[in-house]
Amino acid sequence: MKRRDILTGAGALAMAGCAGEQSATGPAGTAETFEWKMVTTWPPGFPGMQTGVMRMVEQIEKASGGRLKIKIYAGGELVPPLEVFDAVSRGSVEMGHGAAYYWKGKTEAAQYFTTIPFGMTVLEMNGWLYYGGGLELYRELYADFNLVPFPAGNTGVQMGGWFNREINSIEDLKGLRMRIPGIGGEALARAGGAPVTLPASEVFTSLQTGVIDASEWVGPYNDQVLGLQETARYYYYPGWHEPGPTLECIVNKEAFASLPEDLRTIIELATTALNESMMAEYTARNADSLAALQDNPDIDIRRFPDEVLDELRRYVDEIIAELVARDPRAAKIDASFQAYRTKVARWTEISEKAFLNTRR
Ligand code: CA
């Protein structure tokens, strides 16, 4: 038999086996179905993030033969975007999608699992999370909040953001009101700026009405979806504050434990697939979208001066040293993160970075 015939035959057999069993049963013979609710921090239908979550949920439903159905509520539809963590933690809903650094008000240590400014790229973050002890620490931290976290998406290196003034020296950040979350925002504060954390849905209006002077969001693709190119002239790179931010899927601990093993495995697989496919999507769409910005005479794409990046790095180092000194949970995670970063940087130096430097 040719390979194609074998596959067709196997398919026919599998279908025959299912005939008459329309209510799919799991391997353990259970026909129990689960109907879950999921809340996200993203606007309805938002490309990349929300659409990625929608794709994942569809895969979970198909892979489970309809035994795990998840109804998604975008940011604000059931709970405000930045209350996803609380909603899943207290069990009002079973599942959520967002980014760990939004929850620094709950535990500052969470920020390590999204990104640390000047920290790790997406390849390095995934290395740490899946094979360097990061995921165990992530689960240990979130267990205190009744949550099981899964890495579930990444945008890759982001852009530095949109500014309505040139940034030629660190002085130019003084008094700047900017949407920038996490430790990146704290670094801006040390430079004399005023960071704010806003969900995607509020960024455009805040910039357009002058409530803020600058904002980072993601990169060429997503920033144009929000219309940020209409609000500011200067588009700076690189995204020093988010070199490879991991997004997360969080599941209420009791809800997760209530699932049979195969459904738990399906969640594990589907989130891992999203972690990979979202990165691929951002790579492709950012490349598509960059051209329009480069051709736009009203947009000035610039690199941050080294002097500015050096100062920001110094602030980040100070912020992390203080964080580690006051928060034992952050200290434990930081030790793992920094040791891994040092180790993997040696490899990146002679692999990715060395190769990229050869490219013309
Ligand atoms: Ca961002």
pLDDT per residue as tens digits for the range 94-132: 999 999 999 999 999 999 999 999 999 999 999 999 999
Q: Which CATH class is domain 2-156+243-283?
A: alpha beta
Predicted local confidence at residue 197, as pLDDT: 86
* Strand locations in 63-167 (E): 68-73, 95-98, 147-154, 161-163
For ligand 1, the distance from its centroid to the CA atom of residue 245, given in whole angstroms, is 8
For ligand 1, the distance from its centroid to the CA atom of residue 263, given in whole angstroms, is 32
For ligand 1, the distance from its centroid to the CA atom of residue 121, given in whole angstroms, is 14
Which strands make up the sheet holding 34-40, listed edge to edge? 68-73, 34-40, 95-98, 246-252, 147-154
For ligand 1, the distance from its centroid to the CA atom of residue 242, given in whole angstroms, is 6
Return the bridge partners of 236, or none: 161, 302
For ligand 1, the distance from its centroid to the CA atom of residue 319, given in whole angstroms, is 19
Q: Is the pLDDT of residue 21 over 90?
A: no
pLDDT range class, residue 24, cuts 50, 70, 90: very low
Q: Is the pLDDT of residue 17 over 90?
A: no
Predicted local confidence at residue 16, as pLDDT: 39
pLDDT range class, residue 180, cuts 50, 70, 90: very high
* Strand locations in the chain (E): 34-40, 68-73, 95-98, 147-154, 161-163, 177-179, 194-196, 214-215, 234-237, 246-252, 300-303
Strands 68-73 and 177-179: unpaired
Predicted local confidence at residue 333, as pLDDT: 98
Maximum separation of any 2 CA atoms in the chain, in Å: 73
- 39-69 as b/e: b if 16+ CB within 10 A: bbbbbeebbbbbebbbbbbebbbebbbebbe
The model's pLDDT over 305-351, given as tens digits with 9 standing for 90+, comes to: 999 999 999 999 999 999 999 999 999 999 999 999 999 999 999 99
For ligand 1, the distance from its centroid to the CA atom of residue 285, given in whole angstroms, is 16
For ligand 1, the distance from its centroid to the CA atom of residue 223, given in whole angstroms, is 10
pLDDT range class, residue 30, cuts 50, 70, 90: low
pLDDT range class, residue 27, cuts 50, 70, 90: low
For ligand 1, the distance from its centroid to the CA atom of residue 5, given in whole angstroms, is 49
pLDDT range class, residue 26, cuts 50, 70, 90: low
For ligand 1, the distance from its centroid to the CA atom of residue 218, given in whole angstroms, is 5
Predicted local confidence at residue 49, as pLDDT: 97
pLDDT range class, residue 245, cuts 50, 70, 90: very high
Integer CA distances (angstroms), 199 to 94, 172, 215, 233, 322, in order: 22, 25, 11, 22, 27
CA atoms within 13 A on the CB side of 24: 16
Predicted local confidence at residue 199, as pLDDT: 85
**DSSP secondary structure letter of residue 133:** S
Neighbours of 163 (CB within 10 A): 22
pLDDT range class, residue 1, cuts 50, 70, 90: very low
For ligand 1, the distance from its centroid to the CA atom of residue 216, given in whole angstroms, is 6
pTM of the model: 0.89
For ligand 1, the distance from its centroid to the CA atom of residue 25, given in whole angstroms, is 42
For ligand 1, the distance from its centroid to the CA atom of residue 97, given in whole angstroms, is 15
Q: Is the pLDDT of residue 288 over 60?
A: yes
For ligand 1, the distance from its centroid to the CA atom of residue 157, given in whole angstroms, is 9
CA atoms of 140 and 137, how far apart (whole Å)? 5
CA atoms of 338 and 316, how far apart (whole Å)? 13
- What percentage of the chain carries pLDDT values higher than 70? 92
What angle, 0 to 180 degrees and rounded to 10, lies between the N-to-C axes of helices 328-350 and 134-143? 160
CA atoms of 70 and 152, how far apart (whole Å)? 16
Structure tokens at 122: 């997406």
Give domain 161-241+300-326's CATH superfamily.
Periplasmic binding protein-like II (3.40.190.10)
Return the bridge partners of 107, or none: none
For ligand 1, the distance from its centroid to the CA atom of residue 354, given in whole angstroms, is 27
For ligand 1, the distance from its centroid to the CA atom of residue 196, given in whole angstroms, is 12
For ligand 1, the distance from its centroid to the CA atom of residue 243, given in whole angstroms, is 10
For ligand 1, the distance from its centroid to the CA atom of residue 22, given in whole angstroms, is 45
For ligand 1, the distance from its centroid to the CA atom of residue 76, given in whole angstroms, is 19
Instruction: List the domain boundaries for the chain.
Output: 2-156+243-283, 161-241+300-326
- The 3-class SS string of 26-76 reads CCCCCCCCEEEEEEECCCCCCCCHHHHHHHHHHHHHHHCCCCEEEEEECCC
For ligand 1, the distance from its centroid to the CA atom of residue 217, given in whole angstroms, is 4
What's the mean per-residue pLDDT of the chain?
92
Structure tokens at 168: 């030629």
pLDDT range class, residue 200, cuts 50, 70, 90: confident
Query: Which is nearest to 88 in space by CA: 36, 160, 141?
Result: 36
Phi-psi region of 148 (alpha: psi -120 to 50; beta: other; left: phi over 0): beta
For ligand 1, the distance from its centroid to the CA atom of residue 100, given in whole angstroms, is 12
For ligand 1, the distance from its centroid to the CA atom of residue 287, given in whole angstroms, is 17
Query: Which is nearest to 263 in space by CA: 92, 94, 60?
Result: 60
CA atoms within 13 A on the CB side of 206: 22
Return the bridge partners of 215, or none: 162, 179
For ligand 1, the distance from its centroid to the CA atom of residue 68, given in whole angstroms, is 31
